[in-house]
Amino acid sequence: MTLRRIRIQGLGVIDEAELDLSPGLNVITGETGAGKTMVVSGLGLLLGARADAGLVRSGTPQAVVEGEVDVPADHPAARRVTEAGGDASDGVLLVRTVATEGRSRAYVGGRSAPVAVLAEVGQHLVAVHGQADQWRLRDAEQHRILLDTAGGPELAAALEAYEEVFDAWQAARHRLVEVVRGAAERSLRVDVLRAALTEIDGLDPQEGEEDDLRAESERLSHAEELQTASWAAHDALVGPDDPGVDVASVAQLVSTASSALAPAAAHDPELDALRRRLDEIGYLASDLASDLSGYAAGVDVDAERLDAVHRRRADLTALLRRFGPTTRELLRFAREARDELSRLDLSADDVDELARRTESLRVQVGRLGAQLSSVREETARRVGREVGEELSHLAMGTAEVVVHVGRRPAAATGPDARAQSRETDEPTSSGDEPPGTVPLPDGRQAVPRRHGLDDVEIRLSANPGAPPRSVARAASGGELSRVMLALEVVCGDDSLPTYVFDEVDAGVGGSAALDLGARLARLARTAQVVVVTHLGQVAAYADRHLVVRKSSDGQVTRSDVVVVDGADRESELARMLGGVADSRAATEHARELLARRGLEARA
């Protein structure tokens, strides 16, 4: 999972540039004002940062940033692209445009998408650590996430067990609140549902019955008319059953016609075919007459049955007016009413059992939460120690890092209890214990959240004797980047494929710069790292070295990005080390750094 290529057009001093990145450590260097920060700004746009029309290069209609990322199809970023309608079958393509009037557009996987989707995809791909972008350290929730990541499988298992019980407790709590709080309404609703179901079950309607009754009512109401018409048609076809009545029927006339054709039909096949058709008409007339006779005999002239059908229709119509326009809707209402009644119609024993289960889950949440806190506290001590050791190699040797794990205290009564109630969606109780709290094994109470009982804060004491404060307030911009680097080395995992560090080397020099480069190279063993730096000691550790170069024709200044290697790379490192690219001493120093990097890489 790597950021393969970035293309930038019309962004600040960059007219057009393409950055081909390697999987390991990529460094971006260049003279002051060449546009190194534009590379990071472009990457920020690609990850959903707020658009600024001032970034668009003068004389250019729009700025365009395009990024190609290699990720498997099952990666969260690829899945989000697919959900947005884009194509992620062969990696992910991200595009962001910013017009001169400020209008911005985003594309993910070849499809237009809101900028928010671009940001969601980016969160799974790249973490940008610049002096103005340390959101992971400014967001208290991210402190806990970093600690939990560092805790490994043991902490993950403790968190999973806690979350499972917490979710069950929340469901039971809300169910109990629903039952107890709405007792009067629930009782009334139960009565209404029971009455409706009693009435429906008493009638026992069948789906489609209203149509059957309507047809039967119509037939019974016109029974005599139906009989008279069918007998008349029968007599016309085959004659009346009374032998004393001599009426020419269809069957007789057809028979006469067939007999008239029979002698001559023997001499002409065409006429014989016509005679056979006459015979068929005779057979059909006879069959139809038989059917009419059966129908007439089956017509039921039953006044009592007609009255019963009318009563049934009236009763069914009354139900349909109240519960549904058709029997289909009526029966669906009955099913839903039975389901609702089964949920609402709880006995006192049922309520007591629900309350006991809720309390049992509450105790389990406290017990598992305390176990989770214990694992976090142990992890916090280790992380603080290891991050401090990392900072000692990053020109922050006197800094002390403390990962504070503290439980949210439970207020007993009054406004604090009501505030906690709002946070946990729990009504204020009248008992001695505040709502939404859980008991700890030591007898105290704690306010739980889905992630546990703890508030986690990474604190930094930058100087000896200074009290630790939240790292976001205690560290300068450059220190924040270095603290983040140390945290990523200690706490990072493989879920985030790319890290970007901008000016992580601010205020660093000498041997500390070599340590900084070594730490970045160490992080690059498990993730792709992109670093903007002005230190040759850091740049010497790069797996790929990119240089932002500025050129001018006297009127227009533009920048592009090139990959340097061999003598060109030595020349760039010499410029960074000595201020000029052709300094013999600086060139020798550059070669020494590259040789040292090669030895460390082989070690």
Mean pLDDT for the stretch of residues 73-86? 88
Residue showing tokens 């017990």 = 367
- The per-residue pLDDT for range 405-442, each reduced to its tens digit, is 988 766 543 444 444 444 444 443 333 344 578 999 98
- The per-residue pLDDT for range 514-550, each reduced to its tens digit, is 888 888 888 888 888 999 898 899 999 999 999 988 8
Distance CA 340, CA 344 (A): 6
Distance CA 457, CA 64 (A): 38
Among residues 460, 484, 535, 480, the alpha carbon closest in space to that of 131 is found at: 480
- Residues in Cβ contact with 320 at an 8 Å cutoff, skipping those fewer than 6 apart: 210, 326, 327, 330
- Write the secondary structure of 81-132 as one string of H (helix), E (strand) and C (coil): HHHCCCCCECEEEEEEEEECCCCEEEEECCEEECHHHHHHHHHCCEEEECCC
Model pLDDT, residue 108: 92
Tokens of 509: 């020099």
C-alpha neighbours within 13 Å on the C-beta side of residue 250? 19
- The per-residue pLDDT for range 549-582, each reduced to its tens digit, is 887 665 556 778 899 999 999 999 998 887 666 6
Distance CA 92, CA 175 (A): 44
Residue showing tokens 């007609």 = 306
Tokens of 597: 């990097």
Model pLDDT, residue 130: 62
Model pLDDT, residue 423: 43
Model pLDDT, residue 479: 74
Distance of CA 498 to the CA centre of its chain: 22
Model pLDDT, residue 476: 66
Given a cut of 90, whether residue 52 has pLDDT beyond it is: no
Distance CA 321, CA 315 (A): 10
Tokens of 507: 């205020």
Of 111-115, 328-332, 475-479, which gets the smallest average pLDDT?
475-479
User: DSSP assignment of 413-456, as one string?
Assistant: STHHHHHHHHHHT-PPPSSSSPTT-EE-TTS-EE--BTTBSEEE
Name the CA radius of gyration of the chain, rounded.
43
From residue 252, alpha-carbon distances to 98, 259, 276, 560 in Å are: 93, 11, 16, 106
Model pLDDT, residue 330: 92
- The per-residue pLDDT for range 200-246, each reduced to its tens digit, is 999 999 999 888 998 888 888 888 888 889 888 988 888 877 666 56
Distance CA 221, CA 315 (A): 19
Per-residue exposure over 253-281, b if at least 16 CB sit within 10 Å of its own CB, e if not = ebbebbeebeeebeeeeeeeeebeebeeb
What share of the chain in percent tops pLDDT 90?
A: 26
Of 43-47, 92-96, 324-328, 489-493, which gets the smallest average pLDDT?
489-493
Of 341-345, 383-387, 415-419, 578-582, which gets the smallest average pLDDT?
415-419
Of 151-160, 349-358, 516-525, which gets the smallest average pLDDT?
349-358
What share of the chain in percent tops pLDDT 70?
A: 87
Task: Provide the pLDDT confidence category of residue 364 given band limits of 50, 70 and 90.
Answer: very high
Distance CA 544, CA 570 (A): 13
- Over the chain, what is the mean pLDDT? 83
Give me the sign of the Cα torsion angle 240, 241, 244, 250: positive
Cβ–Cβ < 8 Å for 550, 37: no
Angle at 13 between CA 8 and CA 19, to 5 degrees: 30
Given a cut of 80, whether residue 351 has pLDDT beyond it is: no
Given a cut of 80, whether residue 149 has pLDDT beyond it is: yes
**Domains assigned to the chain:** 2-125+496-563 (3.40.50.300), 209-325 (no CATH), 565-603 (no CATH)
Torsion angle of C-alpha atoms 71, 77, 78, 84, degrees rounded to 10: -150
